[in-house]
Amino acid sequence: MKSVWYLFVFTPLAVFGSLVWQSTEVDYRASPGETSASVTYTFTNTGMTAVHILGVRPSCSCTKARTDKLVYQPGEMGEVSATFNFGRRVGHQVINIDVLADDSDSSDTTLTLAAEIP
């Protein structure tokens, strides 16, 4: 009599929060005389658990960025607001904003603000 062995591998389903961004890039064309640009990046938690925002870090001290809160429940929308103060800068400028979160898909998202300053 022959023995037959079967091997079954069970993979548990990952049940995590997941931030889906409407857009991670903004192109901004400043008008003459403008001294700053304020932009908003919108996202939705499409996962099954809450997502915690651990940090929002602009690449330059000329930019301030914040979230409207730190914890987003499943299905909840949120935003990151950023203000880039031009100072004496002119021409094409690119500012990155790193958003750190505990979501499963991308715990680190880089938002980009590309500004054209006359």
Ordered structural domains, the chain, with CATH:
19-117 (2.60.40.10)
Asked if residues 70 and 107 have their Cβ atoms less than 8 Å apart, the reply is no
Q: What is the pTM of this model?
A: 0.83
Backbone angle region of 48, left / alpha / beta, with phi > 0 → left and psi within -120 to 50 → alpha: alpha
Confidence bin at 103 (pLDDT 50/70/90): confident
Confidence bin at 21 (pLDDT 50/70/90): very high
